[in-house]
Amino acid sequence: MSLSEHIADFVVGYTHAEEPSESQTELMHTLKLSLLDWCAVAIAGSSEPVSCIVREQALADAGVEHCSVFGASQKLPMKVAALVNGTLSHALDYDDTHFAHVGHTSVVVFPAVLSIAQAKGSSGRELLDAAFIGSEVACHVGAWLGRSHYQAGFHQTATAGTFGATAAACRLLKLNPLQVRHALGLAATRASGLTSQFGTMSKPYHAGMAASNGVEVALLASRGFTANLDGMECGRGFAETHHAEQENAEPGSALLGGPYVFNAVQHKFHACCHGLHASVEALQYLKDTQGLQASDISSIAVKTNPRWLKVCNVAEPVTALESKFSYKHLCALVFSDYDTSALDTYSEECCRDESLHRIRSLTEVGADDTLPDTASQVFVECANGSVYEAHYDLADILPIRRREQKVLTKACVLLNDQKTAEIWSIINSMDTAIAPDLERLFR
Amino acid sequence: MSLSEHIADFVVGYTHAEEPSESQTELMHTLKLSLLDWCAVAIAGSSEPVSCIVREQALADAGVEHCSVFGASQKLPMKVAALVNGTLSHALDYDDTHFAHVGHTSVVVFPAVLSIAQAKGSSGRELLDAAFIGSEVACHVGAWLGRSHYQAGFHQTATAGTFGATAAACRLLKLNPLQVRHALGLAATRASGLTSQFGTMSKPYHAGMAASNGVEVALLASRGFTANLDGMECGRGFAETHHAEQENAEPGSALLGGPYVFNAVQHKFHACCHGLHASVEALQYLKDTQGLQASDISSIAVKTNPRWLKVCNVAEPVTALESKFSYKHLCALVFSDYDTSALDTYSEECCRDESLHRIRSLTEVGADDTLPDTASQVFVECANGSVYEAHYDLADILPIRRREQKVLTKACVLLNDQKTAEIWSIINSMDTAIAPDLERLFR
């Protein structure tokens, strides 16, 4: 069976177990935390310049008032709302990452799912199942396209994301397997997005594009649109033309029945590039357990996967954006008691803080190709001669309660306690909500 | 200077000469014929299944009523109208082709231009200049991406077309050069479209996608959206990631000031694959000049560029679609007095016509790699021993009056005399129309 056949079977055939296993329960809990995390970063990012531009254009075009968007009271058509919410939720680059997907799934899948669920009046169970299906498909397709796809210059968030959003949208629209194949086929010729756009507004827009593409192709397929049924994997199809790895001999065979991979999703607890997070966690651990102060330190060595040295190793950051991509700066922030989870920590003013410059200058960053790209090894030497060492790997999944606590804390920092509690309550009661009040998430 | 810099200069700097040269006048005349031809194929294709599906979805989403679409009285937002009109005008695959572009420019550029011109109240001169700019840019970018791009599996109509539509849209929105660069940069990460979708509804949809992409990125750039300024040509930019040839050392240097290439556009005068047209013209010439009848013929040999043998050499067509891709069938149609310009000539019933099967069986089709893909050599042997030979190359541009006559005849076949005259009159008076009544084109 081909990948698109497996996806079609998964979209149509997946059912949430009446008595889910412990791992299934944890998976659904993780998904809900991702939805909470997504709402928090979307609300926090909804006034960013790119969010305003895309929303204002959408409001100027208007259309049937079916779906809520963050930052406006006027509702918009499904495809349009998905574009707006996808873009603004990725504007801060503070949303979750799935390393096997090689990108961000929530900023693509949730906007598509919420748009259709709100317009069609889906139940909470239908919404959660579609979000799970879309997220899982995005992860599988991202891994199937592989590192070669990313290295060639394609952004999985936009490309693999389109297929994930398509799967989720098809589920909510209750398409049959053949319609799902047509939707995936059309997605194969609609998906796009290049990493050479990183650092510009196009990067968050990629999430909107993918969410919107998924809604668009599913709606067209529901009306009888036909495309190449094997558009993903055929000769000159999406994979072949887009430098895919396609190493997996039978891709997608694990989709229906598992094992599922979405629970490896990584929520961001620091408002900087995800490549820095393992190092920050390792340093924070040493600081907390050894009680280290900035004044104690005589040198820091950070070891990381070589991939990241091209991504987030700005030696002397000056702008807010540059500071989010600097190992040396983050080392200094950790030991100077800055809150690395707060958005306003990343500013020009902070880059000029001379107390940080001393720690920056004491820090060496080096490549270690034995480390996976989710891990870091750090060494801190103190003036008194003590040397401390720590290793952190984001791939070691946190216990679910710890994860919940950290996501809730992050949401409270980005929003406030009351808003966080309100959103978490809506999400937590979704399993049994026949008509969840989705509009309240956006207010 | 880079290609995108040249395009930005062309978009902003092109001015229609007050006393145009003969070649400039002819170029504008050709453009107007393309607009007439586009209206005719759009109206004729506006009830095709793909046209109905895409239009119905658009009408369901609705939005501000700024722009007309074929087949509905309700107007739609700019981006949406471009999607609908682009798709339905390519539904019959009877629109014009530009061989250097390696695809179809009018079905992408005109929908984008008409949408914005109608919404913004542009003058006829502004509309024509923008259409010319967009068509010329689409041709240049298509040639720059080259055969390698097409052979790898990308459809220039969709990809290069997006940049053409972007240029045209930027012109009508009066963007400055930096804004044009941002729009082109965003287009570089938005453009997509694969040839593996040919034979499905996705193919005409590609034209809609490209038109809509162009409008979308230009509108966003007009609001301050930023993208990679060199998104077309930078490392991991559109060209590098999409198997472009990029043979031209200084691409785009001819954009401002010419020589212009759009006038090589080929209008289709037979409702079949463009690969067949040179052979049909050569055979028609022999039939007309030698008075040949089907009963006279003992054999036909058709020589064509090898490229076409993989595209349009169905030996025994059974369906209407297959009959549009068959040298043998077209040879039989010509000598059996079928009207190859009429849409209903291509039918299952016609495929079953036994009188055609005799000529089909007498025809041999062969490759000749000395022939360009615009040319064909045909040999007809008669029962009395006479042998006739003819050569036809579409690249030999027809005199403009002959071209006009043929486009008008085609439009009259597709529409009717009165409607054709009405549309041609609107287009012909556009140069001086301060507020052309564009809505009338769609009624």
Rounded mean pLDDT, A318-324: 92
Q: What is the pLDDT of residues B193-217, one digit of tens each?
A: 999 999 899 999 999 999 999 999 9
Q: What is the pLDDT of residues A161-200, one digit of tens each?
A: 999 999 999 999 999 999 999 999 999 999 999 999 998 9
pLDDT, residue B247, reads: 66
pLDDT, residue A253, reads: 85
Q: Find all residues with CB under 8 Å of A28, minimum gap 6, and list them.
A: A16, A20, A128, A132, A431
Among B250, B277, B245, B218, smallest CA distance to B142 is for: B245
Q: In this structure, are B319 and B236 located in the same domain?
A: no
Q: Which of A162, A189, A195 best tests the B interface by mutation, with the highest count of B CBs <10 A?
A: A189
Classified as helix, coil or strand, A178 is helix
B91–chain A Cβ distance below 8 A for any pair = no
Q: In this structure, are A154 and A52 located in the same domain?
A: yes
The length of chain B in residues reads 443
Beta strands A387-393; A375-382: pairing state: antiparallel
* B443 vs B189: CA distance, rounded Å: 35
Count residue pairs from A and B with Cβ separation < 8 A: 168
| Residue that finishes a domain, picked among B356, B372, B393 | B393
Shortest Cα distance, chain A CAs vs residue B401, angstroms: 39
B210–chain A Cβ distance below 8 A for any pair = no
Q: In this structure, are B318 and B260 located in the same domain?
A: no
Residues in A closer than 8 angstroms to B54, CB to CB, are 220, 225
Q: What is the pLDDT of residues B93-130, one digit of tens each?
A: 999 999 999 999 999 999 999 999 999 999 999 999 99
pLDDT, residue B310, reads: 87
A252–chain B Cβ distance below 8 A for any pair = no
pLDDT, residue A399, reads: 95
Q: Would you tell me which residues 292-351 of chain B have a C-beta closer than 8 angstroms to some C-beta of chain A?
A: none
pLDDT, residue A249, reads: 62
A275–chain B Cβ distance below 8 A for any pair = no
A241–chain B Cβ distance below 8 A for any pair = yes
Q: In this structure, are A45 and A149 located in the same domain?
A: yes
As to burial, measured by CB atoms within 10 angstroms (0-12 exposed, 13-18 middle, 19+ buried), residue B275 is: buried
pLDDT, residue A258, reads: 87
Confidence of residue B338 (pLDDT cuts 50, 70, 90): very high
Query: Is A248's pLDDT higher than 70?
Result: no
pLDDT, residue B250, reads: 74
Please, where are the H alpha helices in B363-439? 400-414, 417-428
Q: In this structure, are A282 and A186 located in the same domain?
A: no
Among A420, A330, A320, smallest CA distance to A378 is for: A330
| Greater pLDDT, A43 or B249 | A43
Query: Is A225's pLDDT higher than 80?
Result: yes
Shortest Cα distance, chain A CAs vs residue B209, angstroms: 8
A151–chain B Cβ distance below 8 A for any pair = no
Q: In this structure, are B431 and B323 located in the same domain?
A: no
pLDDT, residue A252, reads: 86
Q: Measured over all CA atoms, what is the biggest interatomic distance in chain A, rounded to whole angstroms?
A: 73
pLDDT, residue B274, reads: 92
Q: In this structure, are A189 and A250 located in the same domain?
A: yes
**For residue B55, which amino acid is it?**
R
Query: Which ipTM did the prediction report?
Result: 0.95
Tabulate helix, strand, coil % of chain A (nearest 5): 55, 10, 35
Q: What is the pLDDT of residues A129-163, one digit of tens each?
A: 999 999 999 999 999 999 999 999 999 999 999 99
Residues in B closer than 8 angstroms to A158, CB to CB, are 189
The reply to whether residue B227 touches residue A154, judged by beta carbons under 8 angstroms, is: no
Confidence of residue B374 (pLDDT cuts 50, 70, 90): very high
Contact A194, B236 (CB under 8 A): yes
Lowest mean pLDDT: which of A207-221, B11-25, B171-185?
B11-25
Q: In this structure, are B9 and B76 located in the same domain?
A: yes
Q: Find all residues with CB under 8 Å of B237, minimum gap 6, and list them.
A: A153, A194, A196, B188, B228, B230, B231
Residue of A nearest to B53 (CA): A223
Q: Mean pLDDT in chain B? A: 96
Residue of A nearest to B200 (CA): A227
Rounded mean pLDDT, B366-373: 96
Edge-to-edge, what's the strand order for the sheet holding B363-367?
B363-367, B297-304, B375-382, B387-393
A79 → closest Cβ in B61, B194, B206: B61
- The domain that holds A407 is classified in CATH as 1.10.4100.10
The reply to whether residue B63 touches residue A53, judged by beta carbons under 8 angstroms, is: no
Among B50, B111, B107, B110, smallest CA distance to B78 is for: B111
The reply to whether residue A196 touches residue B228, judged by beta carbons under 8 angstroms, is: yes
Contact B103, B122 (CB under 8 A): no
A62–chain B Cβ distance below 8 A for any pair = yes
The reply to whether residue B241 touches residue A240, judged by beta carbons under 8 angstroms, is: no
Range of the domain at B114: 3-266+399-442
Residues in A closer than 8 angstroms to B197, CB to CB, are 185-186, 188-189, 227-228, 231
* A424 vs B161: CA distance, rounded Å: 46
The reply to whether residue A153 touches residue B57, judged by beta carbons under 8 angstroms, is: no
Rounded mean pLDDT, A31-44: 98
Q: In this structure, are B364 and B251 located in the same domain?
A: no
B59–chain A Cβ distance below 8 A for any pair = no
Residue A110 tokens, joined:
């949730």
Q: In this structure, are B158 and B97 located in the same domain?
A: yes
Query: Is A19's pLDDT higher than 70?
Result: yes
Q: In this structure, are A318 and A196 located in the same domain?
A: no
Edge-to-edge, what's the strand order for the sheet holding A375-382?
A363-367, A297-304, A375-382, A387-393
Residue B265 tokens, joined:
């556009």
Tell me the β-bridge partners of B376.
B304, B392
Contact A57, B223 (CB under 8 A): yes
B196 → closest Cβ in A57, A153, A237: A237
- The domain that holds A380 is classified in CATH as 3.30.1330.120
Query: Is B254's pLDDT higher than 90?
Result: no
A123–chain B Cβ distance below 8 A for any pair = no
How many structural domains comprise chain B? 2
Shortest Cα distance, chain B CAs vs residue A155, angstroms: 10
Classified as helix, coil or strand, A199 is coil
A176–chain B Cβ distance below 8 A for any pair = no
* B363 vs A386: CA distance, rounded Å: 90
Q: In this structure, are A403 and A321 located in the same domain?
A: no
DSSP letter string over B132-150? HHHHHHHHHHHHHHHHHHH
As to burial, measured by CB atoms within 10 angstroms (0-12 exposed, 13-18 middle, 19+ buried), residue B226 is: buried
